[in-house]
Amino acid sequence: MAPRALTVDSLNPKVLALADHLGGDAIARRAQCIQKEIETKPGSHPFDEITYCNLSNPQSMGQQPNKFFREVLALCDYPRLLEQSETNSLFSSDAIARSRKILDLFPWRATGGYSHCQGTEGLRDVIAAGITCRDGFPCNAEDIFLTDGAAPPVHMMMHILIRDEKDGILCPIPSHYLYTSSMVLQGATLVPYYLDESRGWGVRMSDLKKQLDGARSKGVNVRGLVVINPGNPTGHVLVEENQREIVEFCRKEDLVLLADEVYQENIYTADKKFKSFKKIARSMGFSEGDISLVSFHSVSNGYYGECGRRGGYMEVTGFNSEVKKQVYKVASLSSCSNISGQILMSLVMNPPMVEDESYTSYQAERNGILSTFSRCAESMACALNCLEGVTCCKAEGAMFVFPSVHLPKRAIAAAEERNTEPDVFYALRLLENTGIVVAPGSVFGQVHGTWHFRCTILPKEEKIPLFISRFTAFHEGFMEEFRN
């Protein structure tokens, strides 16, 4: 007989309240089963490989890691290489110099020990200098907390902000489930505001104000506002005027602005540039005392796609010294973030300069990847917009397209008969017919009665024509089968 010390009924109800990603997990599990079937019984499906477009995981899709990043990491992880005569011919001179400089930050000159719980001081200095260069406004290294990617600091801030179920956070819909799930675990009240698909997924300030006032009228203490820019899952980039409105809104309403800026280098449109919310706030003349702002960045999500390295940071500004002590206290519950991730985050924020040996190759790799993403995004959006009942905003940034699909009533009825969401039904049929894995829009939230899916732009460029051909054939067949 199984032990009874722990049963589902005796678990934390907040854990039980977590959504099972609303069908996304079922699709991923089915994809893994099909993958095994293809390997053990070739020809068992009408395709010979699974195309995982449900996750932003570039290197798993064949993207090569950046040479300079990996040279520095290799030398830091195995310092004895620096003593070998062959190293000068195998590694670039600036990678050697950078690794020596980084190793000097550790008394033991190795990456296997603990660092300060806030992150290695010298690496925080480098990141602060990178932020200063990016924004044109000073950054204090003491405001930087190095983390294992962007998820841990999001959870950390939810711990700090949420006291009970009467506290709420304004969160965009659609948005990454990290935020909604974190709120569920903390017992917070989700206060949704809906991005405007007709305006390229911009933020409507009238809706933001309406949602805030509505929540407050119900006794909810709204503590903060989440903004994801560039957008996930939508791939939009906010215009500067919209950012300014959001900053002024948070200042006026006394909200903590939680700025997810992890895709800041992935911009594919010439008429828009990334500007951090901190830069926007400072350019508006607001000092630290005027607005509380936490920004998140990660090595997982930019063009580098170092998902497995788990490096990231949050920059905390506008909190008084007593509050900052409490943030530090929560951060200290973890001994430290992993050292390799800390190093990589410092390299992302301080890449090779013009005078460095690696500069030319680094820029070529970076620009090549971003150009490929841009072309793939354009091809996907154009192809999707040619399909019956599908509309897709241009992917301006990040790694996704998020098209809307007008599903026939018969398809919706078929989904209801199977007790599943219509977009999950569509995504499962797509998987079974093409091997393409997408994430249904219900995973991220969507306006009631609309159906979407998120698809990454990460398939290899030479495979995009086949991807489009298979997707088109499936969609045309699906629409014909369920035509009203």
**pLDDT of 363-377, one tens digit each?**
999 999 999 999 999
pLDDT band at residue 2, thresholds of 50, 70 and 90?
A: low
- In the predicted model, what is the mean pLDDT of residues 371-387? 96
* Phi and psi angles of residue 301, each rounded to the nearest 5 degrees, phi first: -105, -15
The answer, yes or no, to whether residue 22 has pLDDT greater than 70, is no
* Phi and psi angles of residue 102, each rounded to the nearest 5 degrees, phi first: -70, -45
- Across 414-478, where does the E strand assignment appear? 436-437, 439-440, 453-456
The answer, yes or no, to whether residue 145 has pLDDT greater than 90, is yes
Model pLDDT for residues 261-279, shown as the tens digit of each residue: 999 999 999 899 999 999 9
From 2.40.110.10, 2.120.10.30, 1.10.287.1970, 2.60.120.620, which CATH number describes the 67-107+354-359 domain?
A: 1.10.287.1970
Return the pLDDT at 15.
86
Model pLDDT for residues 450-473, shown as the tens digit of each residue: 999 999 999 999 999 999 999 999
- In the predicted model, what is the mean pLDDT of residues 433-449? 95
Would you identify the CATH topology of the domain 8-62+364-481?
Aspartate Aminotransferase, domain 1 (3.90.1150)
- The domain spans of the chain are 8-62+364-481, 67-107+354-359, 121-349
Cα angle at 306 between 300 and 309, to 5 degrees?
Answer: 95
Model pLDDT for residues 411-420, shown as the tens digit of each residue: 999 999 999 9
% of the chain with per-residue pLDDT over 90: 86
- In the predicted model, what is the mean pLDDT of residues 100-123? 92
- In the predicted model, what is the mean pLDDT of residues 33-62? 91
CA distance 263 to 228: 9
Return the pLDDT at 81.
94
pLDDT band at residue 23, thresholds of 50, 70 and 90?
A: low
Return the pLDDT at 334.
85
- In the predicted model, what is the mean pLDDT of residues 84-110? 93
Mean residue pLDDT across the chain: 94
Strands 293-298 and 256-260: parallel
Report the phi/psi class of residue 68: left, alpha or beta, with left for phi > 0 and alpha for psi in -120 to 50.
alpha
The answer for residues whose C-beta is within 8 angstroms of residue 184's C-beta and 6 or more apart is 14, 17, 18, 19, 190
From 3.40.50.1700, 3.10.450.40, 3.30.530.20, 3.40.640.10, which CATH number describes the 121-349 domain?
A: 3.40.640.10
The answer for residues whose C-beta is within 8 angstroms of residue 376's C-beta and 6 or more apart is 457, 458, 459, 461, 464
The answer, yes or no, to whether residue 1 has pLDDT greater than 80, is no
CB atoms near residue 200 (< 10 Å): 18
Burial of 342 from C-beta contacts in 10 A (0-12 / 13-18 / 19+) = buried
Cα 99–chain centre separation: 28
Return the pLDDT at 472.
97
Return the pLDDT at 3.
60
Cα 4–chain centre separation: 39
Return the pLDDT at 473.
97
- In the predicted model, what is the mean pLDDT of residues 230-235? 96
Most confident of 108-112, 113-117, 244-248, 327-331: 244-248
- In the predicted model, what is the mean pLDDT of residues 353-365? 97
Q: Which residues of 61-87 are buried (b: 16+ CB within 10 A; e: fewer)?
A: bebebbbbbebbbebbeeeebbeeeeb
Contact 281, 275 (CB under 8 A): no
